[in-house]
Amino acid sequence: MSTEDLERLRKQQIALARALTQPSTSSPIQEPSLSHLDLEEVARSAETLIRKRLSQTRSALRGTSMLLRDEFAKEFREFASTHFFSGPDAIWRDAIEFSRWLARRRKEPAWLSDLLRWEHERCCWESQRLYFSLFRLRYRVAEWIDGRSDNSRDAPPVLSNQWIFIWRFGHRGGIRAIPRRNVAKPTAQA
Amino acid sequence: MEAVVAVAVAVAVVETKPVPAREPLRSLGVGLGYRPVHRDEIFAHRSSIDFFEIVADHYFSASPPKLAELDLLKSNFPLIPHGLALSIGSADGIDQRYLRDFQCVVDAVRPAWCSDHIAFTRAGGIDIGHLTPLPKTSASLRVIRDNLRRVQDCITTPLLLENITESIRYPEDEYTDAEFLGRICDENDVGLLLDVTNLYINSVNYRFDALEVVRRLPKDRIVQLHFVGGRMEEGRWVDSHDTTTQDEIWQLLEAVLSLAPVKGVILERDEKIPPLKDLIPELERARDLYRHAIPA
Ligand SMILES: [Fe+2]
């Protein structure tokens, strides 16, 4: 087993990740590291992933899903063929972006737009809540105070370029925002 | 606000007590994968559930009520954290952020062991969101070994790895299923979480003898089992986790229990989840098998 074998495995994993998550733009046939696989299996796995995303998005947008029924799945499949989100909030990003995408396509009836707007807001709130998780804060507070870690992924996206957020575990608790320029530059993690 | 901080601090001050790797693991019995929909029913069926397996990832972004729920579970049941995205087979290495979150849950729960899967979920910055199988090659073994070293540097609690349902098989495989699983366990001093349903599904879809795989595994590495019903879709078995356990899977479960000194068995129902009382007969049947099993 050589370094080339490891590099080959790494490239194969990246190609497979692309083929599974972006099947409309990344075909396994054209990818040398995947062309020897059973392409039916790859396609079936990509389909499983879409179904999983559909089921999660149905749960996040329950009202819209109940109203549109089969249409919801049809629309989501079209959306999913060109959109994929990575990371811990991928489920919410799917729901947020799909509700926005659907609202642009379906202007009628008016109550559907209202429902989509409401569900969109609720998903945005759930997504933002991820950034204030207590478990994450436990480890990161000390790092932020020392300026050892960049917390931009923990802060709300809109504000993270400007501010660092500190949760204070004092007897009164509370969140404090301090300007990023006042914090020492983050260094690479070991 | 005071309450929120109190919960946060209560979780934060739990200290890690390293579990010596060689200490024999205690038997936990037969339990259930915890699903929040059962929260209000678990105390009414307390005597039927020896322990819970919790999805560690669900507590990474925990709100105060979710942390309180964890506290409630921890005070009343042994808990086993089960991760979904450690991505132990990722050639890009382990995501340090995920590892720290996972460690945080393990520290808070102080379990007998913790677990994740033999798979990769992340590559080239893409979170696939699904357990993706690895080729059974020495390159995969090397990646797993390097990643496990990083995990074991952080988490001293014994770790189990679970076999997954394989949706893709690689022509370049160098090892059989049993050899690959056995090598992962023996070379890295980790236990096996043998998902009996996944093994059964793979054996039917790829036409091999599931029991023969079990016979060839290092038995003392099989620490925990998963079981649940699957279903046939378009001529293939899929791990739908949405139905009662089929007879063939019960038979395999019984055979595994007679061969290996298993410490815990979990019913892993994820979809079309019925009321808890409807799952009790399956738990009781598994408990009966577990109690009467005498490993050869
Ligand atoms: Fe499982």
pLDDT in tens, B5-24: 343 434 343 333 444 445 68
Q: What is the DSSP letter of B112?
A: S
User: How much distance in Å is there from the Cα of B204 to the middle of ligand 1?
Assistant: 17
Rounded CA gap, A62 and A69, in Å?
A: 10
How many angstroms separate the CA atoms of B197 and A64, rounded? 35
Structure-token pair, residue A85: 């989100």
3-state secondary structure of B30: strand
Omega before residue B133 within 30° of 0, cis? no
- pLDDT at position B294, please? 73
Give the whole-angstrom CA distance, residue B42 versus residue B73. Answer: 10
CB contact under 8 A, A1 and B5: no
CA–CA distance, A66 with A102 (Å, rounded to integer): 15
Which pLDDT value is given to residue A98?
94
Average confidence (pLDDT) over B80-108: 93
Give pLDDT, residue A27. Answer: 72
Query: Which one-letter DSSP state was computed for residue B99?
Result: H
Amino acid sitting at position A172: R
Strands B126-132 and B120-123 turn out to be: antiparallel
Average pLDDT over residues B55-80: 87
Quickly count: other Cβ atoms within 10 Å of residue B187's Cβ.
Answer: 13
* pLDDT of residue B228 exceeding 50: yes
C-alpha of residue A160 to centroid of ligand 1, in Å: 38
Of B92, B104, B138, Cβ closest to residue A10: B92
Which DSSP symbol is given to B184?
H
Q: Report chain B's mean pLDDT, rounded to a whole number.
A: 90
pTM of the model: 0.81
Cα–Cα distance, B111 to B102 (Å, whole number): 12
Residue of A14, A15, A20 lying closest to A53 (CA atoms):
A20
Residues of B in Cβ contact (< 8 Å) with A18: 124, 126
pLDDT number for residue A136: 52
Token pair for residue A156? 């709300």
Nearest CA in chain A to B100: A139
Residue B62: closest CA among chain A residues belongs to which residue?
A: A133
Query: What value of ipTM does the predicted structure carry?
Result: 0.88
Mark the residues whose beta carbon lies below 5 A from ion ligand 1.
B 195, 226, 268
| Cβ contact, residue pair B128, A17, below 8 Å | yes
Q: Which residue has the higher pLDDT, A29 or B33?
A: B33
- What is the model's pLDDT at position A35? 87
- Phi, psi for B128 (deg, rounded to 5): -70, -30
Contact B61 A130 (CB under 8 A): yes
- At position B99, the amino acid (one-letter code) is L
Strand ranges inside A64-186, DSSP E? 163-167, 175-179
Side-chain-side CA neighbours of B59 within 13 Å: the count stands at 34
Q: Do B195 and B163 form a contact (C-beta atoms < 8 A)?
A: yes
Among B4, B57, B98, B127, the residue to mutate for chain A (most A Cβ within 10 A)? B127
Q: Encode chain A (190 residues) as per-residue pLDDT tens digits.
A: 788 999 999 999 999 999 999 877 767 667 888 989 999 999 999 999 999 999 999 999 999 999 888 999 999 999 998 888 887 778 888 999 999 999 998 887 888 888 998 999 888 888 777 665 544 554 444 444 444 444 444 444 444 455 554 443 333 434 445 555 554 444 433 3
- Selecting from B96, B101, B126 the residue whose C-beta is nearest the C-beta of A189 gives B96
- Burial (Cβ within 10 Å: 0-12, 13-18, ≥19) of residue A66: exposed
pLDDT at A46: 92
Beta-strand ranges (E) seen in chain A are: 163-167, 175-179
A49 Cβ contact partners less than 8 Å away, ≥ 6 residues apart: A20, A21, B128, B129, B130
> Residue by residue, what is the 3-state secondary structure of B210-274?
HHHHHHHCCHHHEEEEEECEEEEECCEEEEEEEECCCHHHHHHHHHHHHHCCCCEEEECCCCCCC
Ligand 1 centroid to B267 CA: how many Å? Answer: 9
- 3-class SS of residue B115: strand
Lowest mean pLDDT among B22-26, B41-45, B168-172: B22-26
Task: Output A88 or B234, whichever has higher pLDDT.
Answer: B234
How would DSSP label each residue in B154-217?
A: H--S-EEEE----S---TT--S-HHHHHHHHHHHHT-EEEEEHHHHHHHHHHTT--HHHHHHHS
* Identity of residue B69: E
What is the distance between the alpha carbons of residues B132 and B119, in angstroms, rounded to a whole number?
A: 5
Instruction: Please give the residue that has the higher pLDDT: either B235 or B151.
Output: B151
Contact criterion met (CB < 8 Å) for B100 and A169: no
Q: Indicate the length of chain B as a whole number.
A: 296
- Domains of chain B in sequence order: 27-293 (3.20.20.150)
* Partner residues linked to B218 by β-bridges: none
Q: How confident is the model at residue B269 (pLDDT cuts 50, 70, 90)?
A: very high
Kindly state the percentage of chain B with pLDDT values over 90.
Answer: 77
